[in-house]
Structure 1
Amino acid sequence: MEDLEHVTKSDVRVNDVDLGIEIMSSDESIVNISSDNESVKSIDFNNTDIRQKLSSSHLQTMYLLAVLLLLYRDVSSADVVVGRKGNSTVLQCGEDLGDEIITGVIWKIHHINNSSCLSSYANLAKRGLQINNNCNTRMTLTNITLTIQNTQISDGGNYTCEMSHAEGTFFTTTILQVLAQPSVSLDRNSDGSLECRAIGGFPAAEISWIPHSDYINTSEIKDLDDTWTVISTYKSDGDNVTCLVSHPTFVNGWSQSIVLSGRTHYFWRIIALIIFSCLVIGLFLYCRYKSKAIPM
């Protein structure tokens, strides 16, 4: 079996320039594995002529390089789309080709909860339009557009699209991130502590307090719809306390202050009680003094 004379790696650049690997045998036959933002060309490792030129170790190396190349393509060319829980989300499989006939589109979907599904259609000359969808009914496929109605947190994940037409097959990878805005409130408990809540957010909201206290207790609870409820309780001797809530859906954050006026009233009650006690004692002593001063 003839070994490779040399293995060379072509220029490796990021973003819109090809990442290619060139393998050249001694008889100058070349096998290329390349990737860019639009396409991936693969190699048939079962080809007899290629196997005659490559040793087992070289075949294993080519397998590894091909896998790494495809992984690089998925990460480097991925677009990020941010959706909102409850709204409609639209994903595009590449650019609109106008009047050019698309023979097939396949969406391979891997959700954040590790579930996966497939949505595809094929425009066959003899059978017409064939649609296959084993995803949930909220997802509809129209030409190169995938629409998700009433988007949920569980819809987030990796969406890889393969679009076929006359010039070949093109790949597009989209990462869908779904956000849910929390409902926030600040209340006082019966024991005098403050409680700040951020309900139904995704990701979980972050709660902080001004001024800081050593008696802050924060907990996170995951709800059935994959959103998070964050509850933070606060105890302090301060008179003016502010709860701060940060979340990706808040442009400037959320904050609310509360004045612990009950503590101030309690202070003045003590002062009034002291003054009243002094008056009573003074009156008692005065009366006693007057009684002793009157002659018998």
Structure 2
Amino acid sequence: MRDPIGGLAVILTLLCQVWTQDSVLELFFNKGSKVDLNCSHTTKLVYVIWKIKLEGQEECCVGISLNNGYQSNTCQVGMTLKNASESRYYLSIPEFSERYVGLYKSEMAFDGGMHTCNISVSITVPPRISSWLETREDGTLAVCKAEGGKPAANVTWRHVCNSSPAETTFASSYVESHLKLQENDGNVTCVVKHPFWSEEKILVPVRKTGLSSTIVYILPVICVLAVLATFLLFIYKRHMLRRCVLSNHSTSKTEQTETIEEVEPYACYIQRVNSIYNS
């Protein structure tokens, strides 16, 4: 007769290799926090399996069969299956860190059906936040930005009287909110909330000095002047080089003339001596 425990081990191993393609739920946790992952709360469970692919590691599997309590765990990173009740099993991570970042897939079988889910687990990263006021032709615009956060931050405005609704741009790790202010608006503040912080962050928009826009206009002029100066310097050096060459050539001719003048008296003397002997 075959060992039923061994048979269940084979079944759990095979089930770890078969999954349905569900949408992925993204979850973020602070470093050092205790994490409990649970996909479903059902009754009359048959088995629970977690297939885990951590970053930089091979896939591992954690599973349990409720018929006889057999458990399988090939993950060597401290994760365990725990139960709050007979119908609720969850994957427990005692202290979350970078080593637990990855994709977690769960499959729960129960009488009459099966439930699967995929969870992407990452570490929470705080965003970089800033807020300022911009002067526009149609009034003043308040801007509040939170970038680089995981997950994206929540940005809202406070103490707004008759302002228009805020226009907010969202991305995976970037949020920017624009609020057009009216003349009778008081002190407007930007409120940023993020899971990394225990309390919300409050920013008071500061009016920009406009230096950056001035630089944008001046920079092309500076570039043109720099190119023009380089060209003029090249012309000047070329002119000076030409004068130097002409000067050297003139000096050479002068020296040659002086040499000829010094040789001519001696040539005349030789000519006179030769004429005496010839006579």
Where relative contact order (Cα < 8 A, 6+ residues apart) is larger, the structure is: 2
- TM-score by shorter chain over 0.5: no
- Structure with more of its chain in helix, by fraction: 2
Normalised by the shorter chain, which TM-score bucket? 0.3 to 0.5
Q: Which has more radius of gyration?
A: 2
- Structure with more of its chain in strand, by fraction: 1
| TM-score, normalised by the number of residues in structure 2 | 0.36
| TM-score, normalised by the number of residues in structure 1 | 0.34
